[in-house]
Amino acid sequence: MPVIDTRMPALLRSGKPALGMFVGIPSPALVEMCGHAGIDFVIIDNEHGPAGIETTEHLIRAARAANVAPIVRTHEPDILRVLDVGASGIQVPQIETAEQAARVVAAAKYPPVGNRGAAFSTRAAGYGFFGGDPHIAASNDGTIVVIMVETRQGVANLDAILEVPGIDAVFIGPNDLSFAMGYPGKPGTPEVAETIERCIRRIAAKGVAPGVITLSVADHHKYAAMGARYLPGLLSGILRDAMRATVRECRGG
């Protein structure tokens, strides 16, 4: 079986909402549970989560075993390493200009598309068993690039960013955007919510998959109705809410 799960590009192009899950707790068991539950993709959170590269490799391996596509949220300098250990895509935060977006795409793709460094001894290439042209094709065509727009400057430059070839999804970060717009931690404020909706519709109009976090089932359906197709929930939030409800019911309160 090839190492890289290459289903994400086709899923995003299908027009159907893709159901994902942010996993910030570096536990392979939790990643496997997401797969067994029928989640389409997990986002291993290396921006806010504590996982190092070796742990990330194990999380990606768990995702492959449980048939769920692993995306890694990572900063630009680590793009090569997370792809080399077998990620199905990258999600890069705090993109504010078309130049930044183009740099991210280039780092994620092998020549002639980009400038990703090549080594076929990596896990992504099956330690050489799946190297050469098949690995290059699987990596360039079968992995996705997701960029995050979550500042005023990013929103202002969104149209230019969307002109960059090779971007599969643009993810709007509601929480950081709320801070940037002067409503810290309040993404439901009308000005922020309206900005998110306008961005989703602009992204969809360009044929790129819009993405946004969904903190409830109602959020999922609301954003899907706007045209969003890359829709991850938050695993720690689901666990928190389930534990709160269980404790409350057990104690009769």
Burial class of residue 147 (count of CB atoms within 10 Å of its CB; 0-12, 13-18, 19+) = buried
Residue 135 is among the residues annotated as catalytic for this protein: no
Instruction: Round to whole Å and give the CA distance between 239 and 206.
Output: 36
Cα three-residue angle 101-184-191, rounded to 5 degrees: 75
Residue 15, token pair as written in the block? 């027009």
Cα–Cα distances in angstroms (integers) from residue 42 to residues 56, 74, 184, 216, in the given order: 12, 13, 27, 16
Instruction: Round to whole Å and give the CA distance between 10 and 63.
Output: 18
The residue annotated as part of the active site, out of 36, 48, 58, 75, is 48
List residues with catalytic annotation: 48
